[in-house]
Amino acid sequence: MRPHNIFLFFIGLFALMFACWYLFPSEGVEVGGVRLRFPSYESSLQDLADKKAAIDLDSLLQAVQKSYEMVQERGDTLDFFKEYITSNPNRIHLPGDDYTFFDSLFAGFDSAAAAGRVDRVLHYGDSQLEMDRISSELRQRLQERFGGSGPGMVPALKPMSSVSITQNATGSLARYALVTDTLSKWSPTHRYGPLTRFAVLSGEARFNFRRAENRYAQERVRNISRVSVLLGHNGPGLSMSLKCDTLEILRASIDTARDDVTLVTWELPANVERGAITFSGEAEIYGIALDGGPGVTVDNVAMRGCSGNIFTSIDSTVMRQSFDKTGTRLIILQFGGNAMPGIGSKKAISIYLDKMVRQFDYFKKVAPGAKLLFVGPADMSKSVNGSLVTWPLLPELNDSLKTRCLANGVAYWDTFNMMGGSGSMREWVNHNPPLAGPDYIHFTTRGAAEVGSALAKSLLVYDDFRRLRSTLPEEAVKEYISKKDTVAR
């Protein structure tokens, strides 16, 4: 084909496309029950404008991380904390703006190592938490400050692999889960326990574990020197034995039948690479804790497809006894995304919030010594008329969740605005390397690490402030914070 013919071909093609852009109905055309749409020239121009106005995600994330950093001079440091607790958009929002909200939590964490105990943080969430994402970053940073190690508590029969521990189980074990999958069943007793799933032992079984060696595993999660079994409703003559590396076998038994929750713990003389627990008898196994030295750990509980409004269906006696025996001091609820497909009105938001408040009341009853923190939903994109936009009503759901949490004594961390607000998920997906997946809903491993790091730092700033306040007269701090002339930074 001659060059001028090629040129005329492209001119004709562009003319045809422009005619379609200009003449095709904006609402589309119905053909055989399917609505066909053609992109308009206005939307194409808008796409170009959006790209020019797109947020600089690297600069945004650097600003988020920098917002948790303080200068060393005392006067500037007090100014930093004053602005942080009153106006930093990336902070954890506290009920009544009470900056002492987490003081008792951190004081307990401080004393855990000296007292030889492990204080637990239980991190519930939807599929954003699968494979120990987000939780792993939070765990590492808490353990760096307060001591402790290991991946925390895991179910005997784990539904999905984890970057933090390798495990498997064989033998007479049946799995039950609050949120069922193809491998688990619903339990009529509702005795799911703190991990929202349990295994029923009826004979002989073996649980094997091996420390994580993959590149995504955090440093402290590899150190395991304390193994515990949380169980209940056992029959008489239940026996257990633990074999780790080359250490001698450690045994434990419960001779009589018991309905209440029991925690069996083995202290090991050194960190181990692998181990196996052999069971014989009958019992409900609610979890196996793989911890290190005394300090803090984070238990990751990912509940795919869950909106977080079903905890009240778990037997409260089992939960209360479990939280008491395991020393759970902080409960994090990270939900909201799975609720969006069913939310089409403000009334639907109100109904969801009412259900969540019932969950808050439930946790206050079964874990009265624990603080509650809600982590709000991330931005999510969906296709509307061929364009990717934030789910309708997601910003309003986020704001409403924050308001309702704070009114009910629950702290709130705003993932949505930390990401950059409406439309930010597109930038996370398009980032190089990607920080979110092509479904425009879930974070990648790198993106989850960014979120986990920001969550951990936002929490630890309050501990930094607590430590500073311990060196100053409390009344003077209160007066300084209450002044209206906050220094802008």
**Angle value at C-alpha 363, between 463 and 267, nearest 5 degrees:** 65
Q: Per residue in 184-197, pLDDT tens?
A: 899 999 999 999 99
What integer pLDDT is reported at residue 472 of this predicted model?
Answer: 92
Select from 98, 109, 112 the least CA-distant residue to 141: 109
The whole-angstrom separation of Cα 417 and Cα 415 is: 6
The whole-angstrom separation of Cα 56 and Cα 431 is: 10
What integer pLDDT is reported at residue 183 of this predicted model?
Answer: 78
Beta carbons of 154 and 172 less than 8 angstroms apart:
no
Which ranges of 254-345 does DSSP label H, i.e. alpha helix?
316-326
- For residue 418, pLDDT over 50 is answered with yes
- For residue 463, pLDDT over 50 is answered with yes
| Strand positions, DSSP E, 246-396 | 250-254, 258-267, 274-291, 295-302, 328-334, 371-375, 381-384, 387-390
- For residue 424, pLDDT over 70 is answered with yes
Q: Specify the range with the lowest mean pLDDT, choosing from 40-49, 322-331, 361-370, 457-466.
A: 40-49
Select from 294, 182, 280 the least CA-distant residue to 237: 280
Tokens standing for residue 31: 């053909």
- For residue 357, pLDDT over 60 is answered with yes
Q: Taking the CA atoms of the chain, what radius of gyration do you get in angstroms?
A: 26
Beta carbons of 181 and 302 less than 8 angstroms apart:
no
Confidence of residue 487 (pLDDT cuts 50, 70, 90): very low
Q: Per residue in 231-241, pLDDT tens?
A: 999 999 999 99
Q: Per residue in 3-32, pLDDT tens?
A: 767 767 767 766 776 666 566 565 565 655
Tokens 């938490």 appear where?
129
Domains, the chain: 47-482 (3.40.50.1110)
What integer pLDDT is reported at residue 75 of this predicted model?
Answer: 53
- For residue 204, pLDDT over 70 is answered with yes
Within 8 A by CB and 6+ apart from 73, the residues are none
Beta carbons of 184 and 150 less than 8 angstroms apart:
no
Dihedral, 409, 413, 417, 422 alpha carbons, nearest 10 = -70
Q: Specify the range with the lowest mean pLDDT, choosing from 2-6, 203-207, 209-213, 431-435.
A: 2-6
Mean of pLDDT values over 170-183: 92
Q: Per residue in 116-172, pLDDT tens?
A: 999 999 999 999 999 999 999 999 999 999 999 999 999 999 988 999 999 999 999
DSSP single-letter state for residue 244: E
Select from 242, 246, 248, 249 the least CA-distant residue to 279: 242
Confidence of residue 74 (pLDDT cuts 50, 70, 90): very low
At 91, phi and psi to the nearest 5? Answer: -80, 165
Q: Per residue in 247-270, pLDDT tens?
A: 999 999 999 999 999 999 999 999
Beta carbons of 397 and 335 less than 8 angstroms apart:
no
Q: Containing H/E element for 167? A: strand 165-177
- For residue 488, pLDDT over 60 is answered with no
- For residue 1, pLDDT over 70 is answered with no
pTM to 2 decimals?
A: 0.89
Q: Containing H/E element for 171? A: strand 165-177
DSSP single-letter state for residue 249: P
Within 8 A by CB and 6+ apart from 243, the residues are 249, 250, 275, 276, 278
> Under DSSP, is residue 307 helix (H, G, I), strand (E, B) or coil?
coil
The whole-angstrom separation of Cα 134 and Cα 435 is: 13
Rounded to the nearest integer, the mean pLDDT of the chain is: 91
